[in-house]
Amino acid sequence: LIQMFIPLNFLGVMYREIKQSLTDIERLFKLLNVNREVADQADAQPLLVKGAEVQFDDVKFGYDSNRGILQGVSFTITAGHNIAVVGTSGAGKSTLSRLLYRFYDVNDGVIYIDGQDIRQVTQTSLRAAIGIVPQDTVLFNDSIYYNVAYGRPTASREEIVEAARAAHILHFIESLPNGWETTVGERGLKLSGGEKQRVAIARTILKNPRILILDEATSALDTQTEKIIQAELKEIAKNRTTLTIAHRLSTIVDADQILVMEQGRIVERGDHRELLAANGVYAKLWALQQEEAKSST
């Protein structure tokens, strides 16, 4: 069986190809247990999380050696704060989250969490500290109970129900004919974009990570659902170190700091007001999105 999967070993490519969520890739890694991109060092130590400060120090990275994607990216998210990354498609925003989760190792520079180089800690401890709400949550062909519990499989039923309640999806689950035992995923009940995001939120609440990556969905939910989900995300991001990959600027105006990326570089940084005052790339993007919002109403 493993032989059959070896040609698929470049999971990074599969990411785009089959649009799996980050969580699903992690499960695949476990299933295949072959050719991981990165491996624990022999003397890897568990990550010691204190405040959960995240620092990218002059990070350079390319998926292959002949094409650099990140050209030297530096920023710090101080403990419990929130940084949002915006920029043109392909600028390298999601790549930042894949590096922080250590699907790949940097080519140059260092990523630190609380001063520890993430290459020197065990992957299990690193990934236990980070929760991801991905663009498009992939559900397993399994019960909705399994799908929520995936955030922390050792959680008690009570905790799982509480997480669903906090993610505002409990009522929906209980209204299904088979309740928690309903099969979801490709071969089961298809959930809407908003419902899937709530499953991801419930998983994250269960996992209770100190660091959070929010990869905003590109495909728009309806405005009403989006507003509610945004409010829920804001709630779970409270007091966690958060990296938000944003497509709509309106959702990140409150971020402590906004990084504007173009072609693998940070070209502007500051909070919303500062960036508008600077009248550069961000201000132009903002004006453009305001125009679009006006013309769509």
Q: Does 5 interact with ligand ATP (rule: CB under 6 A)?
A: no
Closest approach of Cβ 148 to ligand ATP, in Å?
Answer: 26
Q: Is 20 in the site for ligand ATP (CB under 6 A)?
A: no
- Report the residue from 21, 92, 99, 252 that binds ligand ATP according to the rule CB under 6 A: 92
How far apart (Å, rounded) are the C-alpha atoms in residues 87 and 75? 16
**Residue 16 binding ligand ATP, by CB under 6 A:** yes
Read off the DSSP letter of residue 59: E
29 binding ligand ATP? (CB under 6 A): no
Site size toward ligand ATP, by CB under 6 A: 14
User: Is residue 172 within the footprint of ligand ATP (CB under 6 A)?
Assistant: no
Closest CA to 230 of 257, 266, 255: 255
The answer to whether residue 91 forms part of the interface with ligand ATP (CB under 6 A) is: yes
| 210 is a contact residue toward ligand ATP (CB under 6 A) | no
Please state, in angstroms and as integers, the Cα–Cα distance from residue 277 to each residue in 224, 261, 272, 289, following that order. Answer: 30, 18, 9, 17
Q: Is 263 helix (H, G, I), strand (E, B) or coil?
A: coil
Asked if 95 is part of the footprint of ligand ATP (rule: CB under 6 A), the reply reads: yes
End-to-end Cα separation, the chain, in angstroms:
53
> Which of residues 230 and 263 has its CB atom nearest to ligand ATP in the complex?
263
- Whole-number minimum distance, CB 199 to ligand ATP, in Å? 21
Task: Report which secondary-structure segment, H or E, holds 70.
Answer: strand 70-77
Q: Are 184 and 142 in contact (CB under 8 A)?
A: yes
Q: Tokens for 121, please give them.
A: 């800690």
Instruction: Between 121 and 212, name the residue whose CB sits nearer to ligand ATP.
Output: 212
* Tokens describing residue 146: 């399994």
CA distance 183 to 58: 45
63 binds ligand ATP (CB under 6 A): yes
Q: Contact between 12 and ligand ATP (CB under 6 A)? A: yes
Neighbouring C-beta atoms of residue 223, cutoff 10 Å: 11
Among 22, 52, 59, 69, binds ligand ATP (CB under 6 A): 69
* 2 makes contact with ligand ATP (CB under 6 A): no
Q: Which of 87, 194 has the CB closer to ligand ATP?
A: 87
120 phi/psi in degrees, rounded to 5: -100, 5
How far apart CA 241 and CA 211 sit, in angstroms, is 5
Binding region for ligand ATP (CB under 6 A) out of 51-59, 91-99, 120-128, 153-161:
91-99
Q: Which of 6, 13, 18, 31 forms a contact with ligand ATP (CB under 6 A)?
A: 13
Which residues lie near ligand ATP (CB under 6 A)? 12-13, 15-16, 63, 69, 87, 89-95
